[in-house]
């Protein structure tokens, strides 16, 4: 049994909440281990010089948040369920995200009702008319050349990414395949990879499937904590660093230019690659659009730039793209060939026509307008109920809000409460790999799949649940 020591602050927060937070922290940090017995109520109360009711209330709060379990006649014990491993319980809820009777703030891909079906159908028909059976043959493993040219033109125009020609582009069947191929080409079992924390769980899973060891670095408001990163790079000598430079998933953070420059310098000094996953930069709601790290990598040496079209077009196309350093080209194309020979020729050709037409720009404008409306509506709704004590950093773009719950709330339990009231979102555990002190503190609220009416309904449920949980405290 650990001695629980606490310095009560002389602030507005009740003592039982301060005690609750202090013990919660010890459990989250691993200072108090699963199965460990907590001090008896009377002895802790007298040790801390507080009423027994203070300890009783703190223990009740810990119990209702699943941090501890009461065993009749024996006292309170640290639960086994709050292990810091990635949340897997959540996968059983994936069906719920498609259930139309449930308000969906979980999904981060656009709703099929805003997919550009008619204009894309016209491109498919044009390809069939033009290419006939050739549209159904195997395409080159590095991708259909005209498509690579049109994507490069777009990258040049929008982000000043200036590689010499389309040979530096590799088409992949979605960014997820890109991450998987990066792992296969660059990682051997035991190699270290650095990721942000919290981060996209699909990337962590792909790196781990190669036997890599994933080391995580905390996020600040303008990108990774550089001091922590430098220290971990020095100690672990990673092969690569995986980042999302704009509207990071899930924190919505954008890197400052200073941090991007520091990152590139770090890559040069330590001869490592940076994988820049840039899936949402088009959905920018600010006047000033930031540039990706790849733009700074003028020699095309250190940054593998990865683009998904799932958030800004349609996920089921299963087409993404990588821009990469010369020395990696042939290995990447070989592994792509081993994975699935080539991405769908029909879809690549249709996408090429789509990018070359004015339809692509029109669609981007349309998506931005729709999402700006939803973004502002959710922002106002959150601000209107801010009295419940949650916090968030206003995103400059993207598809979600990353909300820090008041200290007395567990994200997992709050999720269960909202789910039983007909609202789903993503609680933070899924984005953290190891036992992390914040892994149960945040929720990600996405407006990708919910229209204004559903956002209104969902926010009302959220408010009701905040109210109920507040009363329970
Ligand atoms: C950050 C990030 N990268 C990559 C992917 C995978 O994208 P794709 O559908 O292009 O495979 C996702 C999907 O959610 C994502 O959030």
CATH number at residue 414: 3.90.1150.10
* pLDDT tens digits, 6-61: 878 766 667 887 888 788 878 866 778 888 999 999 999 999 999 998 998 888 87
173 CA: nearest ligand 1 atom: 11
What is the model's pLDDT at position 434? 57
260 and 137 within one domain:
yes
Among 320, 316, 231, CA closest to 279 = 320
Quick check: is 195 in a domain? yes
pLDDT band at residue 347 under the 50/70/90 scheme: very high
40 and 176 within one domain:
no
The residue nearest atom 7 of ligand 1, judged by CA position, is 175
What is the model's pLDDT at position 29? 66
366 and 327 within one domain:
no
| CA-derived radius of gyration, the chain | 25
Name the residue range of residue 20's domain: 15-78
Residue 60 Cα to ligand 1 midpoint, Å, equals 40
Residue 268 Cα to ligand 1 midpoint, Å, equals 27
108 CA: nearest ligand 1 atom: 14
Quick check: is 126 in a domain? no
Is residue 297 within 8 Å of 278, Cβ to Cβ? no
158 and 32 within one domain:
no
What is the rounded average pLDDT of the residues 206-213? 95
The CATH number for 62's domain is 1.10.10.10
How far is it, in rounded angstroms, from Cα 183 to Cα 211?
9
- Most informative mutation of 115, 249, 321 for ligand 1 (most atoms within 8 A of CB): 249
What is the rounded average pLDDT of the residues 418-427? 96
CA 280 to chain centre: 11
The answer to whether residue 89 scores a pLDDT higher than 80 is no
The answer to whether residue 88 scores a pLDDT higher than 60 is no
What is the model's pLDDT at position 306? 98
The answer to whether residue 287 scores a pLDDT higher than 60 is yes
pLDDT band at residue 64 under the 50/70/90 scheme: low
The answer to whether residue 363 scores a pLDDT higher than 70 is yes
Residue 319 Cα to ligand 1 midpoint, Å, equals 11
pLDDT band at residue 278 under the 50/70/90 scheme: very high
pLDDT band at residue 92 under the 50/70/90 scheme: low
What is the model's pLDDT at position 58? 87
pLDDT band at residue 91 under the 50/70/90 scheme: low
Quick check: is 163 in a domain? yes
Ligand 1 pocket residue status of 176, Cβ below 6 Å: yes
The answer to whether residue 98 scores a pLDDT higher than 70 is no
Quick check: is 446 in a domain? yes
178 CA: nearest ligand 1 atom: 11
Domain count for the chain: 3
What is the model's pLDDT at position 85? 43
What is the rounded average pLDDT of the residues 294-320? 96
The answer to whether residue 90 scores a pLDDT higher than 60 is no
Ligand 1 pocket residue status of 180, Cβ below 6 Å: no
Residue 203 Cα to ligand 1 midpoint, Å, equals 9
How far is it, in rounded angstroms, from Cα 86 to Cα 205?
10
Ligand 1 pocket residue status of 398, Cβ below 6 Å: no
Q: Which of 341, 357, 373 is the C-terminal boundary of a domain? A: 357
The answer to whether residue 188 scores a pLDDT higher than 60 is yes
| Residue 473 vs residue 414, higher pLDDT | 414
94 and 143 within one domain:
no
245 dihedral zone (left: phi>0; alpha: psi -120 to 50; beta): alpha
156 and 253 within one domain:
yes
How far is it, in rounded angstroms, from Cα 262 to Cα 376?
33
299 and 414 within one domain:
no
Among 132, 159, 449, 173, CA closest to 336 = 173
Ligand 1 pocket residue status of 178, Cβ below 6 Å: no
What is the model's pLDDT at position 81? 56
The answer to whether residue 97 scores a pLDDT higher than 80 is no
Which tokens go with 149?
A: 């040219």
What is the model's pLDDT at position 61? 76
109 CA: nearest ligand 1 atom: 14
The answer to whether residue 296 scores a pLDDT higher than 60 is yes
185 and 206 within one domain:
yes
């Amino acid at each position: 049994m650990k001695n629980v020591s606490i310095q009560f602050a002389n602030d507005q927060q009740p003592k039982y909440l301060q005690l609750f937070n202090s013990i919660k922290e010890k459990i989250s940090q691993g200072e108090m281990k699963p199965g460990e017995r907590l001090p008896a109520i009377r002895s802790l109360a007298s040790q801390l010089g507080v009423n027994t009711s203070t300890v009783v209330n703190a223990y009740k709060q810990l119990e209702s948040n699943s941090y501890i379990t009461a065993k009749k006649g024996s006292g309170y014990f640290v639960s086994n369920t709050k292990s810091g491993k990635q949340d897997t319980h959540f996968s059983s809820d994936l069906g719920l995200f498609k259930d139309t009777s449930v308000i969906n703030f979980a999904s981060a891909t656009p709703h099929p009702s805003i997919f550009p079906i008619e204009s894309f159908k016209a491109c498919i028909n044009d390809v069939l008319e033009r290419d006939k059976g050739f549209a159904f043959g195997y395409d080159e493993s590095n991708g259909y050349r005209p498509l690579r040219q049109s994507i490069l033109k777009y990258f040049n125009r929008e982000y000043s990414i200036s590689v010499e020609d389309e040979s530096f582009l590799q088409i992949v069947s979605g960014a997820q395949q890109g991450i998987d191929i990066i792992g296969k080409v660059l990682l051997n079992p035991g190699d270290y990879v650095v990721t942000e924390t919290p981060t996209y769980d699909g990337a962590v899973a792909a790196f781990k499937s190669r036997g890599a060891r994933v080391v995580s670095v905390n996020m600040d408001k303008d990108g990774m904590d550089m001091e922590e990163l430098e220290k971990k790079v020095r100690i672990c000598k990673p092969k690569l660093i995986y980042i999302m430079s704009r509207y990071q998933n899930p924190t919505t953070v954008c890197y400052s230019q200073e941090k991007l420059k520091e990152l590139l310098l770090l890559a040069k000094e330590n001869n490592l690659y940076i994988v820049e996953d840039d899936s949402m930069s088009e959905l920018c709601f600010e006047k000033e659009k930031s540039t990706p790290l790849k733009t700074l990598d003028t020699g095309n040496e250190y940054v593998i730039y990865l683009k998904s079209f799932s958030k800004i077009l349609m996920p089921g196309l299963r087409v993404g793209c990588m821009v990469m350093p010369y020395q990696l080209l042939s290995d990447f194309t070989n592994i792509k060939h081993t994975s699935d020979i080539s991405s769908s020729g029909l879809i690549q050709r249709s996408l090429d026509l789509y990018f070359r037409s004015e339809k692509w720009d029109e669609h981007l404008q349309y998506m931005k307008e729709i999402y700006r409306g939803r973004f502002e509506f959710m922002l106002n709704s959150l601000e209107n109920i801010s009295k419940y004590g949650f916090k968030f950093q206003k995103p400059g773009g993207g598809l979600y809000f990353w909300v820090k719950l008041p200290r007395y709330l567990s994200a997992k339990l709050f999720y269960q409460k909202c789910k039983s009231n007909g609202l789903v979102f993503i609680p933070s555990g899924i984005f953290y790999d190891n036992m992390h002190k914040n892994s149960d503190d945040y929720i990600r609220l996405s407006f990708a799949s919910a229209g204004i009416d559903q956002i209104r309904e969902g926010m009302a449920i959220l408010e009701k649940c905040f109210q109920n949980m507040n009363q329970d405290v």
